A and B are shown apart, each in its own frame.
Chain A
Amino acid sequence: QQQVKQSPQSLIVQKGGIPIINCAYENTAFDYFPWYQQFPGKGPALLIAIRPDVSEKKEGRFTISFNKSAKQFSLHIMDSQPGDSATYFCAAYLGSGTYKYIFGTGTRLKVLA
């Protein structure tokens, strides 16, 4: 019930394409869902986040879509660039009780020039 399932494991798109990464969770007590971007040898960097009372959030080229009833959320990267090539992690956060983040297993994205 504490798991966050992420797919796909890896993704290759052409420059300008729209990669979509999906995550699913079980625990309805999660109340905050961030996405992190990680480059090799670096720590994860917070990219964008959403709360379950919102169905969509956009920040620049990054959009989160959230489906509360299906317990799923996804990251869309518009007009993807080679510099977006990185590993992306979704996470779910319990804002009461444990205050900890549960991470998905990551999606390695490669954007071809």
Chain B
Amino acid sequence: DTGVSQNPRHKITKRGQNVTFRCDPISEHNRLYWYRQTLGQGPEFLTYFQNEAQLEKSRLLSDRFSAERPKGSFSTLEIQRTEQGDSAMYLCASSLLAEAFFGQGTRLTVV
């Protein structure tokens, strides 16, 4: 399967714990995005990479959130000291040109 792959698919964590998600984009895609989606809402932009450079970060992203894309391949999104409000679906997408393809997402539940 050459689509966007996200792991894990589901994560349940206790409030205050740190979590890390991984995204493997489509291999030739140089752009990688992270979005967050809560129930009944559209995806909200979090951050964007072109190759290994993080070019934009949303004001939605507090300093508890950090994302990396070493070597311009896979990306990780880490949330430190999770809060209940962080519960959401975290989506990764990749693109070469304008067409963006999403992964299946990681559903985070903070209890």
Give chain A's interface residues, CB within 8 Å of chain B. Answer: 6, 31-32, 34, 36, 41-46, 49, 89, 91, 93, 95, 98-106
Q: Which of B38-60 contact A (CB under 8 A)?
A: 40-45, 48, 50, 55-56
B28 at the interface (CB under 8 A from A): no
B61-69, B71-79, B102-110: which lies at the interface = B102-110
State whether A98 touches B42 (Cβ < 8 A). Answer: no
Chain A residue contacts of B102, Cβ below 8 A: 36, 43-46
Q: A98–B48 Cα gap in the complex (Å)? A: 9
A70 to B41, CA, bound (A): 25
Interface centre among A46, A89, A99, A103 (most CB of B within 10 A): A99
Which stretch, B12-20, B80-88, B93-101, touches the partner chain A? B93-101
Select from chain A the residue with minimum beta-carbon distance to B31.
A99
- What does DSSP make chain B's interface, helix, strand, loop or mixed? strand
List the A side residues contacting B42 at CB < 8 Å: 6, 89, 91, 103-106
Total residues of chain B contacting the partner, CB 8 A: 26
Rounded to whole Å, the gap between the CB of A29 and the closest CB of chain B is 14
Pull 24 A–B residue pairs with CB atoms less than 8 Å apart, ordered by A.
A32-B98, A43-B6, A43-B91, A43-B103, A43-B104, A44-B102, A45-B102, A46-B99, A46-B100, A46-B102, A49-B98, A49-B99, A89-B43, A93-B100, A98-B48, A98-B56, A100-B45, A100-B48, A100-B56, A101-B45, A101-B100, A102-B45, A105-B42, A106-B41
B21 within 8 A of A: no
Contacts of A43 in B (CB 8 A): 4, 6, 91, 102-105
Q: How far is the CB of A27 from chain B (nearest CB, A)?
A: 14
CB distance from B32 to the nearest CB of A (A): 11
Contact in complex: B43, A103 (CB < 8 Å)? yes
Partner of A101, one of B33, B40, B41, B103: B33
